[in-house]
Amino acid sequence: MQNNTFSVEGLFDFLNAGVSAFHSTAAAVKLLEENGYQNCPESAAWELVPGGRYYTTRNGSAVLAWRMPKGELTGWHVTASHSDSPTWRIKQLDGGKDAVFAKAETEGYGGMIMPTWLDRPLSVAGRILVRTENGIRSLLLHPDRALAVIPNLCIHFNHDLNNGMKYNPQVDLQPIFGEAGSTLRDALAEEAGVKAEDIVDADLVLCTREKAERVGLKGEYFMSGRIDDLECAYTTLWGFLQGRGEEEGRGDMWVMFDNEEVGSSSRQGAQGTLMANVLARIEEKLGVTREQSIRACTNSLLLSADNGHATHPNHPEKSDPANVAVMGGGVLLKYNARQTYTTSGFTGAAFAEICKKAGVPVQVAANRADVPGGSTLGNLLGHQILIPMVDIGLAQLAMHSAMETASCKDAEYMAKAVAEFYNTPISQPVDGEWKLGL
């Protein structure tokens, strides 16, 4: 992928493949291996060489890739994104008792816009855990057909439906999988070519069937499920793969965590130890002292990449009038006074200068003063990782809908900015002062 022109169609392929966090990780691993990155399982001993290209996964749903420095470690370039999206987790495979329908109860994963999941063809995706002679093996599954639907209540039974409805996920958002007498377990066993009784457990979610496609009179926008945050995951990975590794002593890292949509508090999330563990193992192989480690982290920069909200055309009053975010207007630089975004004037200035070098426009993103806003990866990583961080993203509409909308031009902007980031020398000779190889 190095030196190739960025392609929105490549992003579409990634979005279409990433139907679950496990599939997002598998899609990223495929790209990494195609570009010469070697798997280093966490349970194995690592043999690392200067300039080597490596990756490791955790839980099959998070992945971290890195390029080893070629000299004494001086710092890191890092980008972080996440693999998961709001959806419906399937609680068990055999369904509740129903005289009419085959069912499998679900519960909400993340803060989705509930009604967008109604009345559309759905499939399932994730992994099943299958009994073998030697233990348990994991199989990725995504039947390429519509298996389920969550039917709306007709307006004849609720004449007030268009005036707003309070949805109860246990009552209003449960899917049907067909006629009674069959089970999701049986269908998945047939799909995987295993015995139904050998499926010990599963990690499965519902997923939309629509593919990513261009929208607009000139195809300037696109719609897809899971734009938040697979758009950032792919564009930062593309930028990472453009890194030339020319700076002596500089290491490069790209990480896609899981479980951001539910707080990142899992072992494969940003509050877990994945990144800290990998850094510790690399430093041990390099013979890095604690002092050298602190110095290297101080001379580093991490881009926490997660999409933000475009100013809505029908509801501009929901956005800060002083910071209008436009789709197609460039990369978002995200600020929050409560530090739920990690961007400071110091880190924001460094990233803005890198974007200027790349010819990429930057937009400042901040909520209205009376809207607290959310958080993402950076402030959670900052609890255990010393590296200075900046929160960035791309403007999109309908965040957390089953189908979201974003700008094709912005995806290219992000990819170009991140590629420039990985090829720009960065150091902090004194506190509060950047030296940038611009």
Regarding whether 379 and 243 lie in a shared domain, the answer is yes
pLDDT score of 329 more than 80? yes
User: Same domain, yes or no, for 416 and 388?
Assistant: yes
- The range of the structural domain enclosing residue 429 comes to 8-85+225-436
CB 177 within 8 A of CB 105: no
d(CA 25, CA 14): 10
- For the cut 80, the answer to whether the pLDDT of residue 105 exceeds it is yes
pLDDT-wise least confident of 64-68, 124-128, 355-359, 372-376: 372-376
Q: pLDDT tens, 372-405?
A: 777 788 888 888 888 999 999 999 999 999 999 9
41 and 146 housed in the same domain: no
Task: Give one DSSP letter per residue of 379-432, joined into a string.
Answer: HHHTTT--S-EEEEE-EEESTTSSSEEEEHHHHHHHHHHHHHHHTS-EEEEETT
Query: 217 lies in a domain?
Result: no
Q: Does the pLDDT value for residue 1 go beyond 70?
A: no
Q: Give me the mean pLDDT over the 57-71 stretch.
A: 96
SS3 of residue 86 by DSSP: coil
Mean pLDDT of the chain: 93
Percent of the chain with pLDDT over 90: 80
CA separation for the pair 202, 142 (Å, rounded): 13
Which residue, of 181, 208, 235, is where some domain finishes? 208
Residue 326: name the closest of 369, 362, 290 by CA.
Answer: 362
- 135-184: pLDDT as tens digits: 999 999 999 999 999 999 999 998 888 988 899 999 999 999 988 888 99
Same domain, 176 and 289: no
Query: CA-CA distance, 253 to 392, in Å (whole number)?
Result: 17
By the 8 A CB rule, do 241 and 2 touch? yes
Number of domains in the chain: 2
Task: Assess whether 95 and 236 both reside in one domain.
Answer: no
**Residues 266 and 395 placed together within one structural domain of the fold:** yes
In-domain check, residue 355: yes
pLDDT tens per residue, range 257-286: 999 998 888 999 999 999 999 999 999 999
Q: Evaluate whether residue 116 is within a structural domain.
A: yes
Q: Is the pLDDT of residue 368 over 90?
A: no
- Coil vs helix vs strand at 164: coil
Q: Decide which of 100 and 13 is more confident.
A: 13
pLDDT bin (cut points 50, 70, 90) of residue 347 is very high
> Are 302 and 395 in the same domain?
yes
351 and 203 within one domain: no
